[in-house]
Structure 1
Amino acid sequence: MNAPPGTARPPVIKLKTRRPTGVVPWPLLLIEGEEGAGKTYSAAQFSGSDRIGQMYWIDLDEGSADEYAAIDGANYLIIEHDGTYRDILEQVEAIHTEARRAAAAGEPPVVLTIDSGSALWRMLTNWTYERGRRTKKNRALLLQDPDAAFDIGRNLWNDALERWSRIIYLLRTLPGISIVLARGKQVSATDDNGQPVHNRSEWKVSAQKDLGFDSTCWVRMKRNTDPQVIKVRSLRMRVDQRKPLTLRDFSIEDLVFNKLGCSVESQPRIMPALSGDLVQPWLTRVAELKAKDALAALWRSVPDPSNRLSREEIATIRAAAEQRAAELDNPHSEMGGGPLTDADKLRAAADRKAAEQDADAEQ
């Protein structure tokens, strides 16, 4: 049936396929367990392997990165950061870029160790609680009773989960080896209402609950026992349900290159970031821009037909750009929307005035 005259024909969607490579991808390793079980030691020891390239170490609150460099053969670089989520994320992104360069050049794989995932999730949890305390409803409640229990909105927890997921996505797609260390211990079991269950205990990993599922290989370490593989995504290793695989003479090098079968031919897992619409990548770009002229250029470029955006999506992105421009005029603190100090406000005002003077001088 022919389309009515003057009606545009819809574009023909082409099928996009590829052949599977069969190559073992680089892993995201979760190594969790008791204090003093050897988690940090095993990662530092792995840094001396001649089968890897540069290891980068992000020490979040353990404070042992300098000391463990004394292990015979240890060879890693400590990533410096200011403790804020933004700086940590930017450093992970920079390592991701360096790992991609090394892989393209045929160099041994870059390794990123985060010590620890427990500290990262605790930071985001604390940020969420602080934001919850600042809501209008909870401020009024706490004004009457500073020790009162208060509710935290689901939207605040979603913000924390989004920040966590951005880092996990970079780790999962790193063109190299990612290692996340975390604390784990036996705790009292709880029911659906969060109440302890008498005479029952369970193992608890101190991190976001999906970390074990997101990892390629999940290793548990306890004092005075051999490490165990709790879960693995591999055709070379198998872990039966509720029967962890014991690893005697454990080393990360043996696990990665011998048991998992990784090699110089390994590639990162091919996983494009999932998004419910075309808006989210644009919103991410908007949030990262720090200059109003760049925001204005993005605002103008949004309607380009090549972007394949609907009218509603264009309006959403432009509104976000306008809001971001307003935030640059009235900056907020990094970890959750609270106002900056007076000194920070004066500094921001001085920066804006200097930028305006520079613009006037160019005209």
Structure 2
Amino acid sequence: MILLAGTEKSGKSYEAAAFSGSNLIGRTFWIELGEGEGHHYGSVPGARYELVRHDGSFRDILDAVRWAAWQPRGEDGKPNAIVLDSASILWELLGDEQAIIARRRAAKRAAQNKLPASTDPTDYTITSDQWNVAKRRWGMIIDALRHHDGPVIMCARMDEVTIFDAAGQPTKERTWKIQAEKKLPFEVTGTIQLRGYRRAFLTGMRSLRLNVAPDQTVPYPGFSLDKLMRDLGLDELTAAERTYVAPRPEAYIAEHDAELERLATQHSHTREARRQASKGQLPDEEEVAQAIRRASESNGNQRQALLQVRTRYGASILAQLAINTPWGRMNANVAIDKALEGVAPSGQSTPPGSSTPSPPSGPTPTPAVQGPPVPPTPTAAPEPEPEPGDEPEPGYEPDPEYTPDPDYDPEYEQQPNPPSPAAESMPTAPDDQSEDSAPFSNLRLARHTVKMEASERAAENMRAEVQLQALMVGVPTLDFVAPFLPSGGTSVKQIQCGSRLQDFIRENRPQVVKAFIEMGLPKAAEQYAKFGARVPSPGINKFLKELGVS
């Protein structure tokens, strides 16, 4: 895809018409926008192109581009060429479309305020959301042209303009500006500037044969598109068709839904295991031992596989199961900690010959539900690890859009919260809570202090929200956040607040909204849904206070 930009009457269209007669290509499809001279250049010596008709609307122009891009090669196997004349008119068309919408909006606002409509045709503002629409439509044309397996020539106007300084004042320096969408030079293979009649300069060219950096301007004497294509090696290419695979962002929907289904299944399994454990029915010891062994020997990320085993069964249940391990007989939760100590930070086992893992850190977790007693393990009680502080994990960068809660009041957190109507109407707590306790009584607000850095406040907000999510999906908090705790971690403060946790919170939000609705709290569901994809949410404390959390 070549951008042929030039000043007025510099020979852009002439060169494109002359190229249609090259023996490097088969047919040439000429898509004209606003120039009205397409038939005129048919008299250029050797020119042989076909005008592609359209009605001037964006949709019809897009259909014309798609039709031309998918035309098959001839029997000689030579690629077809497409000429779009001009890209400047196309960008003006997209801007004019949004100007019409902006004028209509202005007239509607005037009518609503009972004011006379403006008679000034320039009295409107094209908003940023409208420019985004124009850019998306522009991208549809570019994407259609990329599917073409032959040369594409895009003609565009170019003007010499004055450079302004940082204060907005004009300087004596001047530069060349292409009249089209500003990213166009980055979308094409290379740019040819015609700064006068047939005075050509190369300004950026992606090619192993003719490599010109974007910041370089190289004179190109004897310019013709046929010569340029030969210098790029088009005459030496085989007849194989070029393949272009367009990005498919819609494929993320299937991936996202599959991950939500996996999380829902995992949490459902954990809830069922807890219910069975409350009746004294624990998972089979050999089944759990095999699951831990398979995770330890997996070819993928062993750390993640081990943590998934813990999340699947629940740390409190695993702590009640005594299993045989290479380190002796111990409870399953400690066995996972032991296996994690032999896993390198990359997620793979430590290589042979490395030092033997030290005893698992931290005491054996106390079971949250009653069950049969567990035989004492042969290992001595290890010394507990010092609990990390609230600092986020290395490399963590807070959401660039994160801003502190505008309603934050340092003294407000010291005051008791008034009773919340939403909290008063809540149903009873899950099985592991007493019947008289409020369902949100075990939650806490994000701890904010005046001296906190923005990243620390963001981490606190994420820890507060992930505890709410654990409660709503019916999974113990430490089981819910097991993938984000260090080996032997037993405190919410040890949650590592990185980008993986941000993704985890986003993925679970739809389930939490559903849980609020099932609890008969549609207003809470509506408010929580407004968090959208923004993690951390600066409004989490306000939301928790409305639920009665203090």
**Under TM normalisation by the shorter chain, which class is it?**
0.5 to 0.7
How far is 1:254 from its partner?
1.6
The C-alpha deviation readout for 1:26-53, integer Å capped at 9, x for no partner, is: xx00000111111111110001112211
Q: Distance in 2 between matches of 1:53 and 1:135?
A: 48
1:252 to 225, 250, 255: 225
How far is 1:137 from its partner?
7.3
8 Å contact kept, 2:209–2:231: no
Are 2:83 and 1:109 equivalent residues in the alignment? no
Question: 1:50 aligns to what?
Answer: 23
Q: Which deviates more from structure 2 when the two are superposed, residues 132-141 or residues 42-51? A: 132-141
The C-alpha deviation readout for 1:6-62, integer Å capped at 9, x for no partner, is: xxxxxxxxxxxxxxxxxxxxxx00000111111111110001112211000011011
Question: 1:5 aligns to what?
Answer: none
2:157 to 180, 183, 202: 183
Q: Distance in 2 between matches of 1:81 and 1:91?
A: 7
For the residue of structure 2 that corresponds to 1:65, the secondary structure is coil
Question: 1:157 aligns to what?
Answer: 131
- Unpaired runs of 5+ residues, structure 1, are 1-27, 281-311, 313-363
Q: 1:86 to 1:224 in 2, by over 3 A?
A: closer
1:123 to 90, 93, 109: 93
Question: 2:210 aligns to what?
Answer: 237
How far is 1:120 from its partner?
0.3
What is the aligned length? Answer: 250
Instruction: Please tell me the root mean square deviation across aligned C-alpha atoms, in Å.
Output: 2.6
The C-alpha deviation readout for 1:71-123, integer Å capped at 9, x for no partner, is: 1110000111111111110111111211xx328x6621111000000000000
Q: 1:136 to 1:223 in 2, by over 3 A?
A: closer
Question: 1:62 aligns to what?
Answer: 35
Structure with greater Cα Rg: 2
Are 2:187 and 1:214 equivalent residues in the alignment? yes
Higher relative strand content: 1
8 Å contact kept, 2:6–2:157: yes
Are 2:61 and 1:88 equivalent residues in the alignment? yes
Question: 1:79 aligns to what?
Answer: 52
Q: 1:225 to 1:272 in 2, by over 3 A?
A: closer
TM-score, scaled to structure 1: 0.63
Letter in 2 for 1:109: P
Question: 1:169 aligns to what?
Answer: 143
Q: 1:187 to 1:136 in 2, by over 3 A?
A: closer
Question: 1:40 aligns to what?
Answer: 13
TM-score, scaled to structure 2: 0.42
Q: Distance in 2 between matches of 1:49 and 1:130?
A: 42
Letter in 2 for 1:160: A
The C-alpha deviation readout for 1:131-156, integer Å capped at 9, x for no partner, is: 11112577428845443743322221
Letter in 2 for 1:165: G
For the residue of structure 1 that corresponds to 2:227, the secondary structure is helix
Letter in 1 for 2:245: M
- Unpaired runs of 5+ residues, structure 2, are 255-509, 511-550
Question: 2:287 aligns to what?
Answer: none
Q: Distance in 1 between matches of 2:101 and 2:248?
A: 27
For the residue of structure 2 that corresponds to 1:201, the secondary structure is strand
Alignment of 1:321-336 (within 5 A): none
How far is 1:267 from its partner?
3.7
Letter in 1 for 2:180: A
8 Å contact kept, 2:81–2:151: yes
Q: Distance in 2 between matches of 1:129 and 1:94?
A: 29
Question: 1:132 aligns to what?
Answer: 102
